[in-house]
Structure 1
Amino acid sequence: MTYSFQDERIMTSNTSQPLGLHRIKFHGKGGEYFAIWLVNALLTALTLGIYSAWATVRRRRYFYGNTELDGDRFDYHAQPLQILKGRLLVIGGIIVFYILLAITPLLGLLALLVLLALLPWIVIRSWRY
């Protein structure tokens, strides 16, 4: 499967240069991905979702590693433990939020305001993966 798109580059000088055409190729095969998907689904179900961080890394490495743009292939550098820690942190935050909401709704509202204030930082940090 091959896709094309125009490469728009901003030039520092005033000369205009024709836009380049780059090809995107995907070298993966359906059977290979199906095997990865099946193992990921089974292990995620058996471990009650814990393996999903490893499944995410494995899936993205397969897709990135088999995608080629202008002769270069992509790579995925996230580590599964980092993803798992991030997910556990989110789950812990949700649990703390609901406990605060149950104890005192005002504390729950305060926690929600703190979360909203930190949301831009959280989004930027999540883009690493």
Structure 2
Amino acid sequence: MTLRAGRPNRIMSLSSVQIDTELAVLLADYLGDQEKDQGYDVLMRRAADHRIYDRISRWRTASYPEVTTVAVVRKLLPVADRTHMAKTLGMSLGDLENQLTLALPKGMRDHARTLSCRLPRWQRL
């Protein structure tokens, strides 16, 4: 999928979009957290509950996962978690949600790849 840059006729690929490093680290911590109602597995269950599992599961294997929407971000991440992330990063909730449309697919893909590295060779993605 492509994103429109500043000028209407200029198209930018997701691979050329920079994601804030602090957000990427915070998201990686969130996806790896299995103790609270957080983590990769919980997000995948939420995706199944909202009937968007197929779309989200494609992020795991895509070289450049497609950008998602704010509505999908809101379905996958509870408002309390998004609010906590926004406060931690010192940004508004709206700005965080907009950045997560790019960061969440990439973070999910990266997390799935780290999980697959721990599997036996015959089970890897």
Shorter-chain TM-score: what band? under 0.3
Structure of larger gyration radius: 1
TM normalised by structure 2 equals 0.25
Q: Indicate the structure with greater strand content.
A: 1
Q: Which has the higher contact order (CA 8 A, sep 6+)?
A: 2
TM normalised by structure 1 equals 0.25
